[in-house]
Chains A and B, each alone.
Chain A
Amino acid sequence: MHFALLSPGALVALFSGVALLTAFLYVLKLRRRPFAVPFSPIWQRVLRDKDASQLFSRLKGLLSLLLQLVLVALLVLSLGDPRPAAGAAEGRSVVVLVDTSASMQATDVLPTRLDGAKAKVEELVQGLGVADRMLIAKMDASVLPLTTMTSEPADLRDGLRHLVATDTRGDLRRALAFAGDALRGAPHPEIVVVSDGALDTENATAGLDLSSTPIRFVPVGKSGKNVAITGFSVRRYPLDASRYEVLLEITNTNDAPADVELTLFGDGNIVDVSRLSLKPNERLPRVYGDLGGASRTLEAKIRLPSGPDDLPADDHAYALMPERRRARVEVVTRGNTYLEAALLLDEYLDVTTVAPSAYRPDGAFDVTIFDGVAPEPPAHGGALYLSLPGAGSAAPGAPGRAERSGPVKVGRALTDFGFDTWDRKSPLLRFMAVENVQIARGHVLVPEKGDHVVGASVAGPILVSGRREGRAFVALGFDPRESDLVLRVAWPLFVLNVIHTFAEEDASYLSAYRTGVPWKIPVTGDGAVAFVKDPLGIRHEVPVQDGRAALFGDRAGFYELSVGDDGQKSLFAANLTDPAESHIEPRKELKLGGKTARPVEGFHAGVRRELWVYLIAALALLSVLEWFSYHRRITV
């Protein structure tokens, strides 16, 4: 026996003080009500008979005092919160993994499956044996212990209160690995998984040594009617950034067909409403093209006309379009109509044209296009070199000495060549077809180590990208006007691809992140930490590394990212979009490594380990007895 709240010495002192006070109050005489009688000798006769049993009366009085002292002792003992010490090493060590993945937000168990899971865990807590210990951990894409390995029901219940379902998928393997680590060396280990079974059980136990740790399963959930948005992204059209297209995928996880009403919101306003019919278990991808009316945020909501499904969490998806920032472009040229025409296609460009003699390297431009010139020092931002100078010294076809011009060296001259190889994944060539470009004259470029050859003829590289002293560049080994490139659609695409790449307005911009995985969000500005406000409005401090903020998001919705207190704020979106997590049909059993997890055993509610509860109960019972005996004049 040990006392959790007060030491034995403090209890003795407390009892002594209260007992003395009780005894003092006990011996105080009660002021009695005066009452006249006509003839006291008869009363005396009666009371004389009573006096005959005075010893017994005194004993009854003493009994009353003893009863009061027992009450005080029980009260003081309960204040000490006594706990049985024996057998602490003999009890079970239980890790309870409570599924808090998105499927646990299903409402087939009211109010949610997670609340049903909490009730089940509460039963386990109530059924803990005197020497048992338990640890409660939440299990979604990550594992987070909410309590220590403790035998305190109050602590366990407190941890239970912090269970919140997230918009992520459950990672059973990670949770089992954690549980195995937590139970290593613990007596009588046991893992209890409280879940709806919507988990990846294929390789959950692979590589884990859980042979000596029985795994129990507590199923939660009743039904699994659900239609989900399992894919949602948006992009702007490169040549008309005011328009965009949406890729959407809706999955019917039921064995029955479902009609769905889909609503798209742009910047909070309804953009499109349509009705879809899905066959049983159908995944229906849809592309909504040439949409307008939104500049930043896009949301998709589905609704079942027949009534809400069981999981509202995946009925709502979010996306964010790339921000339309005006890129500052400086063109250093002696005049190039094709280049000027290409730059006119994007209304979000601020173009400044200067003659080579008027070029100033300290200009604040996102992109500088050098047309046939390569002045030193180069620009601060990105640089596109068209037809690097100096290349004219070598005769076409003759192996000349490579001369440095701008960021790269210019090699021998070429005639009548084209793109024989090119990097199809390079963002510089996105949406372009360059295989038939005819080039009259040009030069081979000599890339340095670390440079990337984007396009090359059989004679050598003709399109190179790279960095020099932290400044990005793209160099073209020929004058576009010496080719039919300027007559193709590919020409303005190439120019805009280069500008967007330098201005970080990437056409492959990720419109939404997926919850439950680590995110690396590009940040603007300097700083080692950034601040992220999640969809619930909670502000988190996250580290910044290599210009990207790293965080683990578990909520679908829009996030706000900022660096420093007065840093520029930017938005990004996150979605669940996980077909596996949207399959919420509850499973009655859990198969792990070919074995079926057994139901929990040995948790018998009603056996409490807090002795103070019994002490208080005894105190209440004795108080009732005392009240009864006093008012029935038994102990007075």
Chain B
Amino acid sequence: MGMVDFWRKPARAATSRVTASDLFGEGFQAKLESLAIVSRRVFAGRMRAERRSKKKGSGVEFADYREYAPGDDFRFVDWNVYQRFGRLLVRLYEEEEDLSIYFIVDCSASMGFGDGRKFDQARRLAAALAYVGLANLDRVAIIGVSDEVVAQVPSARGKGRIFKLLQFLENLETGGATSLADAVATVVAQHKRRGLAVLVSDLYDPAGFERGINVLRYAKFEPYVVHIVDRKDARPALRGDVHLYDCETGDEREVTVTDALLTRMESAYRDHLADIERFCAKSQVPYFAADVDTPFDELVLRVFRRGGFLR
């Protein structure tokens, strides 16, 4: 046992978790159903499988032209264009298919830091959104990641699969460092079917939160960032001479914590949140900050109202 491990013990001992039965109890499941009903009201008129994918295929909605290549189906050659311009162009149509939603839940140690409220909130949000997705006949998969994929449940459809998802979420545990880029790259490699990728994380990635999101963007996924925020991370109940260490990386630093330092820390934390929001806006990635102090059902409704999750 190293000195850092020796020091870590007291901080670990302070962690307390909500039990699984409390996490997804009957009350939670009742709320899921009401959320599904509310979501139908919000998105009334939407039909199953009417979500248009970016994938070009055999649908009925014209999308674009491209040069004819040998082997193309002659039926899609636009002869009128050939007559007018003498060029062989093939008409492309948007393929209509059912939506795949991937919930990438951060299971790193920072999510379970302190009393584990962030991880609980993340799991509840993921469960609620997954239920709404299942209720909309989308294909829903949940993947737990840290610096790698730690666990995942395959894509499933139908509300009846919700219990399997809940059980999966219940069994998830925090631990390990955060490396969203590596973990998301694995997810992308494992899931050829593109779709909506909901990243539920505190985005405490030493390598930078942008990399993980960009991996999703570059792989043609539609990223949706649900940022789990705990204000206590910005202003811990701490004074005096302390030996700080990172709960994931173990980086150490001797610090004398003063009011002035905590104020600067709060400011830096706000800057951190602003950087994330600015990046997402710039990248046209839907971003949603989920405070652990806000009830999850209220958060889910905010997600719906903000849009981007369901179309």
Contacts and interface: CB of A to CB of B under 8 A. Distances in A.
Interface string A37-72: 111111111110110000000000000000000000
A41 B245 contact: no
Nearest to B251: A40
B281 interface: no
A304 to B, nearest CB: 72
Contacts of B110: 38-39
Contacts of B274: none
**Of residues A37, A44, A47, which shows the largest number of chain B Cβ atoms within 10 Å of its Cβ?**
A37
Contact of A633 (B11, B248, B260): B260
A633 B253 contact: no
A34 interface: yes
A41 B177 CA distance: 13
Interface in A585-636: 632-633, 636
Contact of A32 (B8, B241, B269): B241
Contacts of A30: 241
B247 A42 contact: no
A33 interface: yes
Contacts of B113: 36-38
A35 interface: yes
B265 A42 contact: yes
Given A40-B249, A633-B260, A34 B265 contact: no
B256 A35 contact: no
B18 interface: no
Contacts of B258: 632-633
Nearest to A49: B264
A633 to B, nearest CB: 4
B240 interface: yes
A35 B11 contact: yes
Interface in B257-289: 258, 260-261, 264-265, 268-269, 272
Nearest to B207: A41
B253 A47 contact: yes
Interface string B88-123: 000000000000000000000010011000000000
B138 interface: no
Contact of A45 (B202, B242, B247, B268): B268
A35 B238 contact: yes
Interface string B212-255: 00000000000000000010010010101111111111010111
Given A40-B245, A46-B264, A633-B260, A34 B7 contact: yes
Nearest to A39: B204
Interface residues of B, number: 39
A33 B264 contact: no
Contacts of B251: 40, 44
A47 B241 CA distance: 14
A43 B265 contact: yes
B238 A36 contact: no
Contacts of A33: 240-243
A37 B269 contact: no
A632 B256 CA distance: 11
Interface string A19-41: 00000000000101111111111
B242 A41 contact: no
B27 interface: no
B249 A38 contact: no
A38 B244 CA distance: 10
Given A43-B255, A50-B261, A633-B260, A37 B246 contact: yes
Interface in B170-197: none
Contacts of A35: 11, 236, 238, 242-245
B10 interface: yes
A41 B206 contact: yes
Given A42-B269, A47-B253, A633-B258, A34 B8 contact: yes
B204 A34 contact: no
A32 B233 contact: no
- Report whether over half of chain A's contact residues are helix, strand or loop; otherwise say mixed: mixed
A44 B269 contact: no
Nearest to B242: A35
B133 to A, nearest CB: 29
Interface in B1-41: 6-8, 10-12
A230 to B, nearest CB: 79
Contacts of A50: 261, 264
A40 B264 contact: no
A636 B241 contact: yes
A42 B249 CA distance: 13
B2 to A, nearest CB: 12
A636 to B, nearest CB: 5
A34 B253 contact: no
Contacts of A632: 258
A617 B34 CA distance: 74
Given A46-B265, A50-B261, A36 B253 contact: no
A455 B265 CA distance: 123
A627 to B, nearest CB: 14
Nearest to B256: A636
Contacts of B238: 35
A36 B13 CA distance: 11
A633 B243 contact: no
Nearest to A29: B254
A50 B256 CA distance: 11
Contacts of B7: 34
B245 A34 contact: yes
Contacts of B253: 40, 43-44, 47
A212 B245 CA distance: 83
Nearest to B232: A38
B265 A38 contact: no
A36 B247 contact: yes
A34 B269 contact: no
B267 to A, nearest CB: 8
A159 B238 CA distance: 58
Nearest to B261: A46
Interface in A474-512: none
A36 B5 CA distance: 11
Contacts of A49: 264
Nearest to A42: B268
A633 B206 CA distance: 30
Interface string B153-175: 00000000000000000000000
Nearest to A36: B11
A227 to B, nearest CB: 74
Interface string A366-396: 0000000000000000000000000000000
Nearest to A33: B242
A579 to B, nearest CB: 78
A403 B19 CA distance: 145
20 contacts: A32-B241, A32-B242, A32-B243, A33-B243, A34-B245, A35-B11, A35-B242, A36-B12, A36-B113, A37-B244, A37-B245, A37-B246, A37-B247, A40-B245, A43-B265, A44-B253, A46-B265, A633-B261, A636-B241, A636-B256
Given A34-B11, A34-B242, A37-B113, 7 more contacts: A32-B254, A34-B243, A39-B246, A42-B269, A45-B268, A46-B268, A50-B264
Closest 3 CB pairs of A and B: A34-B7, A36-B11, A40-B246
Interface of B: 6-8, 10-12, 110, 113-114, 202, 204, 206, 230, 233, 236, 238, 240-249, 251, 253-256, 258, 260-261, 264-265, 268-269, 272
